């Protein structure tokens, strides 16, 4: 039974967000981990005004909300999310000379392909990262020593105070797997990336090389959220190395297992629960703390 307050919020949400608003939507299929319970409310935003409107409405109603990209860096709790999940499907991309302008729901894969077609160099390292621009900028996604913040020139954000602003790269305070978006309630709406003209053959070769390297250590045929913990920034230590040293590859809790070829990846081998993944993560952190006195920090975001 819904209480009076929830009924009122539900009515208001429906009246403002319209028929596209879903209720009790299971989140597992919207994540690469394939784990997670229901969101009370769920809206797919295909246009930027829908995205902005949904965020503003949630804020206005004091309702928890979560902007979801491709769900490739999150672990949703088994109990789901008491609030509104806004799935960002705003995917438009335009190539203008050596710049790529795109909406924040654009897929990295599409940026990789479009830059290749236009002989633009810079996005090769993103080949095989299954996220959207919003999620990638949020966590300054990267690989092979490069990260997305390096390419960003300017962006449009919806600030925590509800303004729409154009900001430059410096605004994001990019660092290893960090950006200001992690600390603020800003929502990324669109971005302009600056690339370099390059030889198409060289770009194609680089992408193929990167994908070959990734396929050796990343379980593309299994459900996961990529690397679970961040590397140790100041010590330049890889979390995978430390985890390997504590025997992580042999560990599992229920259907949550450490991937046999990469100790920093937890896979959902069948029907893992979020609580099993979290328990496994706690065990891994403890082992690394005891042996190396290092505190591993999650790269994956817990949504509960
Ligand atoms: C097989 C595999 C390989 C991976 N390899 C890599 C890798 O090499 N390097 C790497 O860095 N990551 C990697 N990842 C992790 C993940 O793909 C990236 O972090 C990706 O950029 C996340 O994007 P997403 O759209 O899926 O974000 P989501 O998981 O949907 O969201 C992540 C966070 O971003 C926030 N967010 C999303 N959109 C916006 C927005 N528009 N405005 C504000 N906040 C927003 C969300 O609220 C959430 O807090 C990998 C994951 C998998 C499954």
| Residue 16: predicted pLDDT | 84
Task: Give the integer Cα–Cα distance in Å for 235 and 61.
Answer: 44
Ligand 1 proximity of 131 Cβ (cutoff 6 Å): yes
pLDDT digits (tens, 9 = 90+) for 41-67: 999 999 999 999 999 999 999 999 999
What is the 66 CA–ligand 1 centroid distance (Å)? 13
Ligand 1 proximity of 155 Cβ (cutoff 6 Å): no
| Residue 273: predicted pLDDT | 98
What is the 268 CA–ligand 1 centroid distance (Å)? 17
pLDDT digits (tens, 9 = 90+) for 83-109: 999 999 999 999 999 999 999 999 999
pLDDT digits (tens, 9 = 90+) for 196-243: 999 999 999 999 999 999 999 999 999 999 999 999 977 678 999 999
Domains and CATH numbers, the chain: 15-88 (3.30.43.10), 93-201 (3.30.465.10), 221-303 (3.90.78.10)
pTM of the prediction? 0.97
Structure-model confidence comparison of residues 185 and 214, the more confident one: 214
pLDDT digits (tens, 9 = 90+) for 134-165: 999 999 999 999 999 999 999 999 999 999 99
| Residue 35: predicted pLDDT | 98
pLDDT for residue 185 is more than 90: no
| Residue 1: predicted pLDDT | 55
What is the 142 CA–ligand 1 centroid distance (Å)? 10
Q: Beta 81-88 vs 38-45: how paired, if at all?
A: parallel
| Residue 61: predicted pLDDT | 92
pLDDT for residue 113 is more than 80: yes
- Check if the beta carbon of residue 39 is closer than 8 Å to that of residue 27: yes
Ligand 1 proximity of 71 Cβ (cutoff 6 Å): yes
Share of the chain above pLDDT 70, in %: 99
Ligand 1 proximity of 129 Cβ (cutoff 6 Å): yes
- The number of the ligand 1 atom at minimal distance from the alpha carbon of 136 is 21
- Check if the beta carbon of residue 93 is closer than 8 Å to that of residue 50: no
Mean pLDDT, the chain, integer: 96
| Residue 242: predicted pLDDT | 97
Residue among 64, 141, 191 whose CB has most ligand 1 atoms within 8 A, to mutate: 141
| Residue 2: predicted pLDDT | 60
Ligand 1 proximity of 68 Cβ (cutoff 6 Å): yes
Residue among 39, 131, 301 whose CB has most ligand 1 atoms within 8 A, to mutate: 131
Residue 115 CB neighbours (<10 A): 26
Angle, CA 68 vertex, CA 67 and CA 70 arms, to 5°: 155
Q: Please tell me the total number of residues recorded for the chain in this structure.
A: 304
What is the DSSP secondary-structure string of the chain?
A: ---HHHHHHHHHHHHHHGGG-EEEEE-GGGSSS----EEEEEEEE-SHHHHHHHHHHHHHTT--EEEESSSSSEEE-TT-EEEEEEEE----EEEETTEEEEETT-BHHHHHHHHHHTTEES-GGGTT---BHHHHHHTT-EETTEEGGGTEEEEEEE-TTS-EEEEEGGGG--BTTB-GGGTS--EEEEEEEE-EE--HHHHHHHHHHHHHHHHHHS-TTSEEEEE-B--BTTTTB-HHHHHHHTTGGG-EETTEEE-TT-TTEEEE-SS--HHHHHHHHHHHHHHHHHHH-----BSSEEE-
| Residue 17: predicted pLDDT | 86
Q: State the first-to-last Cα distance of the chain, in angstroms, to the nearest integer.
A: 21
Q: What is the mean pLDDT of residues 72-84?
A: 98
What is the 12 CA–ligand 1 centroid distance (Å)? 31
- Check if the beta carbon of residue 143 is closer than 8 Å to that of residue 210: yes
Share of the chain above pLDDT 90, in %: 91
């Amino acid at each position: 039974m819904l209480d009076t307050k929830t009924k009122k919020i539900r009515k208001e949400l429906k009246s403002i967000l319209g028929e596209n608003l879903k209720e009790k939507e299971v989140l597992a299929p919207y994540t690469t981990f394939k784990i997670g319970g229901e969101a009370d409310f769920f809206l797919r935003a295909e246009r930027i005004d829908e995205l902005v409107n949904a965020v503003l409405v949630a804020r206005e109603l004091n309702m928890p909300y979560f902007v979801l990209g491709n769900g490739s860096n999150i672990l949703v709790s088994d109990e789901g999310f008491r609030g509104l999940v806004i799935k960002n499907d705003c995917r438009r991309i335009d190539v203008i000379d050596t710049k790529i302008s795109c909406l924040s729901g654009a897929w990295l894969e599409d940026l990789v392909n479009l830059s290749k077609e236009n002989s633009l160099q810079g996005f090769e390292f993103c080949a095989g990262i299954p996220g959207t621009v919003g999620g990638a900028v949020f966590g300054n996604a990267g690989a092979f020593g490069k990260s997305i913040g390096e390419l960003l020139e300017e962006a449009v954000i919806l600030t925590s105070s509800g303004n729409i602003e154009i900001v430059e790269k410096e605004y994001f305070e990019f660092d290893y797997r960090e950006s200001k978006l992690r600390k603020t309630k800003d929502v990324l709406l669109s971005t302009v990336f600056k690339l370099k003209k390059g030889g198409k053959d060289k770009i194609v070769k680089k992408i193929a090389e990167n994908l070959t390297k990734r396929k050796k250590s990343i379980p593309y045929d299994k459900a996961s959220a990529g690397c679970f913990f961040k590397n140790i920034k100041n010590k330049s230590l890889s979390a995978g190395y430390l985890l390997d040293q504590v025997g992580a590859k042999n560990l599992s809790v229920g259907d949550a297992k450490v991937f046999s070829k990469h100790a920093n990846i937890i896979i959902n081998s069948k029907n893992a629960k979020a609580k099993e993944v979290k328990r496994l993560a706690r065990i891994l952190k403890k082992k690394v703390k005891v042996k190396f006195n290092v505190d591993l920090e999650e790269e994956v975001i817990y949504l509960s």
